[in-house]
Structure 1
Amino acid sequence: MTLVLILALLIAFIVLATTKLKLHPFLALLGAAFIGGFAYQVPSNEIVKHIATGFGGILGGIGLVIAIGTIIGVILERTGAAITLAETVIKVMGKRFPTLTISIIGYLVSIPVFCDSGYIILNSLKEALAKQMKVSLVAMSVALATGLYATHTFVPPTPGPIAAAANLGLESNLGLVILVGLFVAFVTAMAGLWWANRFLKQDIELLPEIHSDQLAKTEELRKSYGQLPSATAAFLPIILPIALICLGTIVAFPSKPLGTGTVAQVLAFFGQPVVALLAGLIAALGLLKGSSKADEFNKVVVEGIVLAAPILLITGAGGSFGAILKATPLGDYLGQTLSSLGVGIFMPFIVAAALKTAQGSTTVALVATSALVAPMLPQLGLDSDMGRVLTVMAIGAGGMTVSHANDSFFWVVSQFSRMKVATAYKAQTVATLTQGIAGIITVWILSLVFL
């Protein structure tokens, strides 16, 4: 019981440090690792070693993937490729189902681009579509936000799910995480869409518009990018690395479906996440414009590194926290206790949801929860490849439950959509709750089939 009490206090420390004390999550997780080491009576001369090993181990496996993936996202954002993705989906799907169209746009754009940035980029397009098709702006806003949120939470190369996968030992099996993540993300996006459509016919009072002509604003945004890239050029940096990683996963299956010859060896090499994302980065170079592409490339690399740095530090600190927990008998004790209660796949969901709701950051919730549950997987019956993948999905479902006032994405959605705070709680916060519940139910059903 003392082991559980210490764990509860460590989680409380992380929450209070990040919310009340406004401490950066990196320092909060690192502090929790040190406090946990002493509280669990890990030999003092081994605490720093465990922390350093955990930090280096997690970043050694996944740090390059996070950095390269972030740089690709910056290129897509800065070159207007995200707008091309959106306009391509509109051409394919038409304008008969506006909320479904904007949801799918969000679903695709947020695979490489952070959901906050994606919403800001697509906001004027969303408002223009809402005016053209005379549909509720609140419904369109929630549909876009939940579409973005779905892939942001479940699908690598977004940093949160990548870090969770690394903590659970899935660095070499990201293809399976991507495939399952795309499915679970689609279900949760449709759950968010279902909630968004509740507002289609409602006349909701919004805050005053700052710029009334959204059609002109969208055109102005379009012109600011110069000539937009083609659909092929815009989609390639996303599709290529995902396809290579998935092929690499298929090659690695024990049944060796593609054999063991030269072709299989080449696919295995290019299917490694770092190599696959480097291929995506090379494909993204074609999007760069200007007289000096080298200078432009250096700028986006610097910006990508700046964006990736805090995520890398949080991920590394999460690895340190996990390494300390693994050095204690906590995993065995909790695993045996929870397995006897039959909690199983719901346990990581509950922990991630509690952390997300309390401190606001999805990435922190995913990193901290995955580090915490990693030692318990054997006792929870989740110590297989699919068990680990579904654990990542369960953590992701918890990590989106719920977005409210302590989450930056909540304020991006509410302010750019001109929703009053009360409206945002009814629309956006409940939508993320709906998504989280749909996500964990989907994961539970998958666990009944595959575990």
Structure 2
Amino acid sequence: MSLILILIAVIAFIVVATTKFKLHPFLALLLSAFIAAFAYGLPSSDITKIIASGFGGILGYIGLVIVLGTIIGIILEKSGAAITMADWVIKVLGERFPTLTMTIIGYIVSIPVFCDSGFVILNSLRESLATRMKTSGVAMSVALAAGLYATHTFIPPTPGPIAAAGNLGLESNLGLVILVGAFVAAGAALAGTLWANRFKNVQPDVLSEQDEHKVDQSWKELKASYGTLPTASQAFAPIFVPILLICFSSIAKFPSHPLGDGTLFDILVFLGQPITALLIGLLLSLRLLKSDDKIKEFGERISHGITVAAPILLITGAGGAFGAVLKATPLGDYLGATLSGLGIGIFMPFIVAAALKSAQGSSTVALVTTSALVAPMLAQLGLDSEMGRVLTVMAIGAGAMTVSHANDSFFWVVSQFSRMSVGLAYRAQTMSTLIQGITGITLVYILSLFLL
């Protein structure tokens, strides 16, 4: 019992430190690693070695993937590729189902671009379509946020899911994480869309004077500000070519070797390694650079990407250190056996992630911390298989979106840009994330019945 009490106290420290005292999650996780190490009685001479090896171990491979993915996202964001993606989706789907179209746009854009940035970029498009299709701006906001949020929490190369996969030993099999994540994210996004439809007749309650012409013009002005937009192939290639390479590699490595085991197998496995695949994506993104001095522009994008990735890398490394400490304690055996007796299995990672997300607001922190926490007890939970680990990432992702409220920056981006009061945002956006999270874990549980 004392083992669980210590764990609860450490988690409480993380929540209080990051919410009340505004301590950076990196430092909160690192301090938690030391606190847990001393509380569980690990030899003092080994503590720093365990923490350092845990920090370096997770970043030794997955760190490069996070950096490359972030740089690609920055280039796509700055080049107007997200605008091209949105226009392409509208052209393909038309304007018959406005909320569904908005969700699909968000679903695609948020794979390379952070959900906060994606909403800001697409906000004027959302307003334009809402006016043109005579649909409430509130419904369109919730639908867009649902699509953005789903891929943000479930599908690599978004940093949160990548870090969780790394903590659970899946860094060499991200293709399977992407395939399963795409399915679960689609279900969660659709659930958010259906909830958004409840607000089709609800107008923003923090109104400003805007007419249709002005809204349409704002989207046109935004597009014009990017200059010549990239073509659809240029916009989609840097993110979907790496994803396809990673998925083909995973298929090639199936025990049945469906693509053979000769030269083609070796090529696909090499090209489908996440670092190689994302490096190819980065090279493809060079076509999106616009300035006359492309070398200088590329350098600026890399610098920006590294700046954005740095805190994510630190949080991921600290999460790895925290996880390494927990692995060195008897907590995994004890907690795993206890939870197995309760029969909650795949729901345990979801519950922990949801508690952390709701308490401190960051989906990435919830993904990293929970994955580090549950890694030592996968065997006891019956999840210590390749598919078990993948579904654990999905369960954590579902928890990491449950729920977005006032302590989450995404909540404020959605509510402020949509001109929703806090009360309306809670009813529309926060409830949407709750429904998405519950839908996500329900799908994961169903999958576990067939795949485990």
| TM-score computed with the length of structure 2 as normaliser | 0.99
Q: Is contact 2:205–2:419 with CA below 8 Å preserved after alignment?
A: no
Q: Once superposed, which parts of structure 1, at least 4 consecutive aligned residues long, lie more than 2 Å away?
A: 201-212
- Aligned AA for 1:182? A
1:173 corresponds to 2:173 = yes
Deviations 1:227-267 (A, max 9, x none): 10001111111110000000111122222221221111011
2:154 corresponding residue in structure 1: 154
| Distance (Å, rounded) in 2 between the aligned partners of 1:209 and 1:179 | 44
Q: Is contact 1:348–1:369 with CA below 8 Å preserved after alignment?
A: yes
Q: How many residues align?
A: 451
Deviations 1:38-92 (A, max 9, x none): 0000000111001000000000120000000000000100000000000000000
1:62 corresponds to 2:36 = no
Q: Is contact 1:209–1:418 with CA below 8 Å preserved after alignment?
A: no
2:265 corresponding residue in structure 1: 264
1:163 corresponds to 2:154 = no
Deviations 1:346-369 (A, max 9, x none): 000000000000000000000000
Q: How far does residue 134 in structure 1 lie from its aligned partner after superposition?
A: 1.1
Deviations 1:398-428 (A, max 9, x none): 0000000000000000001110110000000
Alignment of 1:415-426 (within 5 A): 415-426=416-427
The alpha-carbon distance between structure 1 residues 305 and 210, as it changes in their structure 2 partners (threshold 3 A), is: farther
2:205 partner SS: coil
| Distance (Å, rounded) in 2 between the aligned partners of 1:383 and 1:152 | 25
Deviations 1:379-416 (A, max 9, x none): 00000000000000000000000000000000000001
Q: Is contact 1:99–1:197 with CA below 8 Å preserved after alignment?
A: yes
The alpha-carbon distance between structure 1 residues 373 and 155, as it changes in their structure 2 partners (threshold 3 A), is: same
2:106 corresponding residue in structure 1: 106
| Distance (Å, rounded) in 2 between the aligned partners of 1:249 and 1:158 | 19
| Distance (Å, rounded) in 2 between the aligned partners of 1:227 and 1:198 | 38
Tell me how large the CA RMSD over aligned residues is: 1.0
- Aligned AA for 1:58? I
1:13 corresponding residue in structure 2: 13
- Aligned AA for 2:56? G
Query: Unpaired runs of 5+ in structure 1?
Result: none
Q: How far does residue 374 in structure 1 lie from its aligned partner after superposition?
A: 0.3
1:450 corresponding residue in structure 2: 451
| Distance (Å, rounded) in 1 between the aligned partners of 2:85 and 2:365 | 29
Q: Is contact 2:69–2:157 with CA below 8 Å preserved after alignment?
A: yes
Q: Is contact 2:62–2:163 with CA below 8 Å preserved after alignment?
A: yes
2:321 corresponding residue in structure 1: 320
1:364 corresponding residue in structure 2: 365
| Distance (Å, rounded) in 2 between the aligned partners of 1:185 and 1:337 | 30
Q: Is contact 1:155–1:161 with CA below 8 Å preserved after alignment?
A: yes
Q: Which moved more, 1:34-43 or 1:214-223?
A: 214-223
2:138 corresponding residue in structure 1: 138
Deviations 1:325-381 (A, max 9, x none): 000000000000000110100000000000000000000000000000000000000
2:288 corresponding residue in structure 1: 287
Q: Is contact 2:204–2:418 with CA below 8 Å preserved after alignment?
A: no
| Distance (Å, rounded) in 2 between the aligned partners of 1:317 and 1:205 | 42
- Aligned AA for 2:375? A
Alignment of 1:185-334 (within 5 A): 185-209=185-209, 213-334=214-335
Query: Unpaired runs of 5+ in structure 2?
Result: none
| Distance (Å, rounded) in 2 between the aligned partners of 1:274 and 1:305 | 16
The alpha-carbon distance between structure 1 residues 420 and 136, as it changes in their structure 2 partners (threshold 3 A), is: same
1:127 corresponds to 2:91 = no
Q: How far does residue 205 in structure 1 lie from its aligned partner after superposition?
A: 2.6
Q: How far does residue 209 in structure 1 lie from its aligned partner after superposition?
A: 4.9
Q: Is contact 1:207–1:420 with CA below 8 Å preserved after alignment?
A: no
| Distance (Å, rounded) in 2 between the aligned partners of 1:131 and 1:76 | 27
Q: Is contact 2:252–2:268 with CA below 8 Å preserved after alignment?
A: yes
Q: Is contact 2:137–2:203 with CA below 8 Å preserved after alignment?
A: no
| Distance (Å, rounded) in 1 between the aligned partners of 2:322 and 2:194 | 38
| Distance (Å, rounded) in 1 between the aligned partners of 2:249 and 2:72 | 20
| Distance (Å, rounded) in 2 between the aligned partners of 1:318 and 1:104 | 32
Alignment of 1:346-357 (within 5 A): 346-357=347-358
| TM-score computed with the length of structure 1 as normaliser | 0.99
- Aligned AA for 1:431? S
Deviations 1:177-234 (A, max 9, x none): 0000000000000000011000012345333258982111111110110010001111
